[in-house]
Amino acid sequence: MKKSCFRHVLTIICIVMLLSFVSLASAYPTLTEKYLPRLQGQWYDLNGNVVLNFAGNYLNDCQITGLYGGAGGGGDIGFTVRIIENGQYRDLQLSCTNLSENPDAYHQYIVFNKNTLRRTPEAQFYESVGGLGLGMSQKDVVVRYGQPNRAYSGSNDRRLTWEYTDLGMTITWDYGIISRIVIYKYGNRRFDRTGFNCLNTVYDYAQEYGMKRVPSPGRFGAFGIGYNEFMWFEHYPNAVELSLYWN
């Protein structure tokens, strides 16, 4: 009798735990439920052409079966989008940066087939240097400044750096878009919104850009200025960097 009661109680506990796990799992959205709404709309290549068009459960008029294999989190995540194309499954690998529930948020990008896609035909940015902003293409830069004095690639094919030594400015691209702009003390470049350069104090920067704390010159770390843009003072007072990256 006691064993029978024990088994009965144990069964009830197991059922309650199972229901709890099911309830907990259902409280968290799947990868598809969380990120497919953020992908909605048109995504443009650097020439302003629509490459990906998400409309409901369809991508470029092909039905989406789901999103799989997420790596990362928040707005910086990669995953596979599986579609049905010509009666067959096709997997598309997407790597997303700053993917947001707000389609108007600045600096949302998708890397697809090693090419960067933007939310808008033209780059959207907050701060700039001589008309150059984060998210611009090489073509945008050449139109304004011509070819650099020196160019070199990183350890992989994603990164390229151009140096305009006569201006005191370095530009770095990741997958074809400007990811950082560095202005140097010896040059004549300034940030367009404030006119600041390396001669302005870190207190000036903190006040004018609404930074949460005053930068520490020479230390590693980013300082947000809003709009998914950051400034670095690791090499201040010799250089100040405008960047897409906080780490």
Burial status of residue 118 (CB atoms within 10 A of its CB: 0-12, 13-18, 19 or more): buried
Dihedral Cα 159, 164, 167, 168, nearest 10 deg: 50
Question: What does the domain layout of the chain look like in residue ranges?
Answer: 31-118, 128-243
Task: Return the pLDDT at 24.
Answer: 31
Identity at 2, one-letter amino acid code: K
Q: Residue 14: is its pLDDT beyond 90?
A: no
Distance CA 23, CA 2 (A): 32
Distance CA 109, CA 96 (A): 6
Binning pLDDT at 50, 70 and 90, where does residue 158 land? confident
Task: Find out whether 114 and 157 touch, Cβ atoms under 8 Å.
Answer: yes
Distance CA 220, CA 211 (A): 16
Distance CA 14, CA 3 (A): 16
What percent of the chain is modeled with pLDDT above 70? Answer: 88
Distance CA 24, CA 230 (A): 37
Distance CA 135, CA 101 (A): 19
Distance CA 175, CA 78 (A): 15
**What superfamily would CATH give domain 128-243?**
CAP (3.40.33.10)
Helices (H), 28-84: 31-39
> Could you tell me the pTM of the whole model?
0.85
pLDDT tens per residue across span 124-139: 999 999 999 999 999 9
Segment among 28-32, 88-92, 234-238 with least mean pLDDT: 28-32
Mean pLDDT over 185-189 rounds to 96
Task: Return the pLDDT at 28.
Answer: 67
pLDDT tens per residue across span 194-215: 999 999 999 999 999 999 999 9
Task: Return the pLDDT at 161.
Answer: 96
Q: How far is CA 199 from the centre of its chain?
A: 30
Distance CA 132, CA 171 (A): 9
pLDDT tens per residue across span 45-84: 999 999 999 999 999 999 999 999 999 989 999 999 999 9
Burial status of residue 224 (CB atoms within 10 A of its CB: 0-12, 13-18, 19 or more): middle
